[in-house]
């Protein structure tokens, strides 16, 4: 029988209640010290019927921060706040991984300790603007990380991985996607280094490998996932040959017995895609999470065809805390309001209604 999106799924030693994953989504509702707020606890608890929640991006250090009001994991107070949140998710039967992030060049001196210039593999200024407490400001040219600084970046991830354990998460997702620091190393449009961390794809992957080695000393491999975006142009990213490069990267990741690889397929801003994701998926022997633009029908098809083991949904989970039930029972969906995505109060965050009317029909 073909696999079913609503069936349970054994993710290493964790049993998930379905194959529906809530995609990581930054909502800028933490306080300005990076602490979890009560409305965040409510937001995630409301969505605990997802088979697995992947948290919004969590900066691994003060240097890793790239946006206002993002919840961190680099201070004891952060652990206390997240523990409240993970307890709430668990008490409602959910599972939650922390998405560990370093923004690299997608930051601004206004967000950095001592107003430092943000760091990156190479001093290449992204087009576009940073979101700061003083509003939108042009990105600056980042400072190239010196070779001797790289062990500290790795240590930042390791420390955050330790704090994620103390904070009660079920696992961690290393954010290697969407134009942030690890992705800046992976893709050749942003990595012009001439040392062991630049040049061929094996070298560009060295930072990710070192981070995975480090966090594997804290978590079993089966509780560590990696997110990748071979093609997403978000944050001014390009790569000369995503098919070849990401087949290599995913094949290498496949040797580690990770919980999963999570791929945002295509480009968030364009419909077209030059990458053969079926070929990419075939490079990975473990659990593959597909994401980007999936609705129920597409997700069912991907799972039935074996193109994905799990499917992550972003926008549908913003607007529908009870998305699993709505999909399962063929109920109408609420629409997400982009005006309330990033920052603000409870409106558009914890006030999307659960379905309370008559069930419409069963799919």
Ligand X SMILES: Cc1cc2nc3c(=O)[nH]c(=O)nc-3n(C[C@H](O)[C@H](O)[C@H](O)COP(=O)(O)O)c2cc1C
List active site positions: 180
Nearer to ligand X, 143 or 301 (CB): 301
Nearer to ligand X, 67 or 284 (CB): 67
Nearer to ligand X, 17 or 178 (CB): 178
Percentage helix, strand, coil for the chain under 3-state DSSP, each rounded to 5: 30, 15, 50
- Rounded CA-CA distance 358/45 in Å is 24
- Rounded CA-CA distance 320/10 in Å is 25
Which residues lie near ligand X (CB under 6 A)? 23-26, 56-57, 99, 175, 177-178, 227, 264, 268, 291-294, 313-315, 341
Nearest 5 degrees, angle CA 195-CA 197-CA 199? 70
Tell me if 179 sits within 8 A of 130, measured CB to CB: no
Helices and strands of the chain, counted as H and E runs = 11, 14
Taking the complex as a whole, the smallest distance from the CB of residue 251 to ligand X amounts, in Å, to 22
Nearer to ligand X, 46 or 255 (CB): 46
Nearer to ligand X, 177 or 214 (CB): 177
3 state SS of 263: strand
Tell me if 207 sits within 8 A of 153, measured CB to CB: yes
Taking the complex as a whole, the smallest distance from the CB of residue 234 to ligand X amounts, in Å, to 8
Give bridge partners of residue 96 from the DSSP assignment: 53
Tell me if 173 sits within 8 A of 95, measured CB to CB: no
CA 171 to each of CA 229, 231, 281: distance values in angstroms, whole numbers, following the listed order: 20, 26, 22
Q: At what angle do helices 150-166 and 206-215 cross, to 10 degrees?
A: 40
Nearer to ligand X, 15 or 288 (CB): 288
Alpha helices, DSSP H only, in 26-180?
A: 38-46, 76-91, 150-166
Q: Which single residue brings its beta carbon nearest to ligand X?
A: 314
Residue whose C-alpha is closest to residue 99's, from 39, 31, 37, 177: 177
Taking the complex as a whole, the smallest distance from the CB of residue 252 to ligand X amounts, in Å, to 20
3 state SS of 40: helix
20-22/310-313 β-pairing: parallel
Nearer to ligand X, 109 or 344 (CB): 344
Q: Is 76 exposed, middle or buried (0-12, 13-18, 19+ CB in 10 A)?
A: exposed
């Amino acid at each position: 029988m073909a696999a079913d999106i609503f069936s349970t799924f054994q993710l290493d030693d964790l049993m998930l209640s379905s194959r529906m994953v809530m995609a990581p989504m930054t909502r800028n509702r933490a306080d300005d010290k990076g602490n979890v707020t009560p409305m965040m606890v409510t937001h995630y608890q409301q969505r605990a019927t997802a088979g697995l929640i992947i948290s919004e991006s969590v900066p691994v250090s003060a240097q890793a921060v790239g946006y206002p009001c993002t919840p961190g994991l680099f201070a004891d107070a952060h652990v206390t706040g997240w523990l409240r949140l993970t307890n709430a998710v668990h008490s409602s039967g959910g599972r939650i991984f922390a998405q560990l992030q370093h923004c690299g060049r997608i930051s601004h001196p206004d967000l950095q300790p001592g107003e430092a210039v943000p760091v990156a593999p190479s001093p290449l200024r992204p087009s576009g603007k940073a979101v700061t407490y003083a509003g939108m400001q042009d990105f600056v040219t980042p400072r190239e990380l010196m070779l001797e600084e790289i062990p500290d970046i790795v240590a930042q991830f390791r420390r955050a991985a330790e704090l994620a354990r103390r904070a009660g998460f079920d696992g961690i997702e290393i954010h290697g996607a969407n134009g942030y620091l690890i992705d800046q190393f992976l893709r050749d449009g942003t990595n012009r280094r001439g040392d062991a961390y630049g040049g061929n794809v094996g070298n560009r992957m060295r930072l990710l490998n070192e981070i995975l080695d480090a966090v594997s000393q804290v978590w079993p491999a089966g509780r560590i996932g990696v997110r990748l975006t071979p093609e997403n142009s978000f944050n001014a990213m390009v790569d000369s040959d995503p098919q070849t490069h990401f087949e290599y990267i995913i094949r290498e990741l496949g040797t580690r017995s990770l919980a999963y690889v999570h791929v945002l397929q295509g480009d968030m801003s364009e419909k077209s895609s030059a990458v053969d994701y079926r070929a990419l998926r075939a490079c990975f022997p473990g659990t593959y999470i597909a994401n980007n633009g999936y609705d129920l029908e597409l997700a069912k098809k991907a799972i039935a065809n074996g193109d994905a083991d799990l499917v992550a949904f972003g926008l549908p989970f913003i607007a529908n805390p009870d998305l699993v039930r709505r999909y399962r029972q063929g109920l109408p969906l609420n629409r997400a309001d982009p005006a309330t995505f990033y920052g603000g109060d409870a409106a558009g965050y914890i006030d999307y209604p659960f379905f309370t009317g008559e069930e419409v029909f069963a799919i």
